[in-house]
Structure 1
Amino acid sequence: MSIIYSTMASIINRISDEFRKSFLFTAIFTILEFIEDQWVGSFFAGLYPSENFLGFLNRNQILKNYLFHPLVVLFVFALFLLLALNSVSKSLAVTLMLAFAGFFAGSTILPRFFLNGNLKNIPRFEKRDMYSLGFCLTLVSIVFFFISVASVGGIPLLKPSIRYLLKPIFTMPVFLIIPGTCLIASTYLKDFQDGKITRSQARFRFLFLLAIDCAFLLLLGYRTPLLAAFLIIIIIGFYGNIVSLWEVVVGALVGIGAIIGIGYFRSLGELTITSSTNPFYTLQTRADFTLHVLNLLDFVGGNFGITHGKLLASAIPGSDLGPRMIVGKLIAWRTEVTITPTLIGQMVVDFGKVGVLIEMCILGFVLGIGFKIMQKTKNYFYIGIYSLILTYSILGVETGILDIQVLLYFAIAIFIYLICIAKPAD
């Protein structure tokens, strides 16, 4: 395994070095370093509120220590259910109780029996390797952004109707900017931890990474990937002492506002609502529709499911229908539409109520172990990988964890965590 890692790291490092030595990237980084120096020492930077702004938040120990505990997934799920205009069925209520119980046990109880010693023997990853990988992923995503835009002949944000012409084979690589951002931000955190850059420099670089993500993902008209980039930067910054607690709270409000705003204006552009419609209505109707879908899937799945893993397996490229298209076929007999089934939709269709209990327990355990490793080591890489999988778990509350690249992120995280558990503690 070490030989494979070394070979891949060598190739990625060489590619990254060659691009960064080019005139274009040398010029870009020189300009960015100049802007960073000017901003960090500028008068305007001094006007920004201090870390103790809204100090009453810092006195709340639960927020300071457990704001991004895995249980935040259940909190978001509960809020999502409350947003819906209609109530859940009795059968779905039982399924949800099993889901919440399984996740709670997996995230808070089971991790107590693992990794209780010194974790100095767990795998460590070279910062240069992680930066090079993040840089290459970001580069690939930018290239495919321009390919996607060219393939539909316009910018989807400005012409919402053409967003549905985007081809997944081109857009999926664009979303690699999210793990790319995660890895690069993690390496900046490592530089801050080692004293190579100041907190102000790290904050500026985090903001720049977020700006790059916004520029490309927003123009494609996608809300969920944009929110993913936003969440990852906040979580890494929060646990790396780069982002203050009050900034997380304000950032969450801004993120929610962005979701509502983009959905509202996109609906206006598609003529599905009028300007007199309540902006929250688009969010409520989306939650209500998704809950209606979940009610139907719960009825179809029953206690033991009907597809027995085939729905999850359909995420693999080359399948006739994707997971969300299969959901559309199951509840409406329409394969030309994609329907989000919530976090437990796939679980209940594949394996029923029993599957929901077991799979939510496994998901909770993965996040619980990741949280424990991150808290005990404060290692930049483990902060980054936990931020990545927690982000997609939160977003999966509505969309489900069904995209092949997201499943790959979880597979990598599980593999690394299993190695950590297998390593004898001192």
Structure 2
Amino acid sequence: MKTKVSFKRILMPVTLSPLPKMTHQTMQSIKVISLSYKTADVAVRGQLQFSEEEVQSFLSSFQAHEDVKSLVLLSTCNRTELYFESETTTAKDMIEQMLTFKGVWISGHLLKIIESTHESAQYIMEVATGLHSMVLGDKQIIQQVKSAYLQSQSMGLVSGVFERLFQQVFRAFKRTSNETAFLRGSQSTSYLAVEHTRRLVGKQAKVLLLGAGEIAKDVVKYLVSQGFENVVIANRTIEKAQTLAKLKESYCYLPFSEIPQYFSDFEVIISSIGVKDLIQDYFFTKAHFPKVLIDLAVPASISLSDSIRQAVQLINIDTLVEKIQVNKAESQAAVSDVQTIIGQELAQFMKWHDSLPINQFLASLKQHYKSTIQEKLQQYHQELPEGVIDSIVASLLKTPAVSLKSMNLPESVSSVQQLNNIYHF
């Protein structure tokens, strides 16, 4: 019996330097750090690619942090982005944390940085709807954003502000899907990989798919829909490969340890596993070997010498879009409609966000009034039903609440700051 090869990365403990503590009361702001295909090639992006285990480890180091209230880490083939909410922690601080964790150095000009709440919220909505995807309107990105958000939420790294923000983000995507033609003409890189395979070798080709994650699932979906019958799936966790192979009766799975043995049986290799140099020259020792290799992974998982490269067609995710011309007319025509929807959802979020100081002050004032009434009642040995006290407090709050909310926003926020100083809230 052959020993199964494990490709699980061993994570060494990393000590992150402390971030600055809060020194004064300021408004929380939402910030973005992005390294994407727009500024960095696949090799550079691979340096800042986070595995599932690394995402978990990085996020966990912020669970007890005083200033970083929310933190979402999105790491895909095309982008690694950090969305966070803080008062005093800057994007520069967080970049240092990311680079220290990964043990790499990346030139600052390759990183997109946004440090205003309005621009950050708009950017996150644009990413989630596919406006910034390599393939315009890529439908896969919304699931990746949702997964990143839910992971942070499960770890207690999503505040009320981020919860409200991502509600608007997901609503913007849903409206984009239902109200525009933007997503009808769009395809994912997984679709392009399968379409390219079909055009080069036909759907009768024997395909080896490496990986069983989200990208692999997307690939299998298109392999099935386009009529590919001879597909074998290999994954480091064999149970995941088995589960994916069950999607079509003729599909099979293969242990990782047996890939070299059966490698020459395939005409096409599609890799979605971000294990660097997973496929190398020694796989090509037999006269017959796969002639089409598509590398959807970051970091690149297929590393070949020039002599082997001349004998095969090797395509990575950066060149894939250039090799296949996709009709984007519908998506391009609907971009303005998507931007209108995002503008509307962004306006709703910012109206809610900008009113937070007023609502927080009124909540503090409510508690102050309630505590004062209860204290005086105890002092004079009197009692009132809880509902009566709440009614009195509501009457006392009515005038200041109406006055503050009738002002224009900058004026009301300025008044709240003064009132907070007066009441020492």
Give yes or no for TM over 0.5.
Answer: no
Q: Which has the higher contact order (CA 8 A, sep 6+)?
A: 1
Query: What TM-score, normalized to structure 1?
Result: 0.28
Bigger radius of gyration, 1 or 2?
2
Higher strand share: 2
Higher helix share: 1
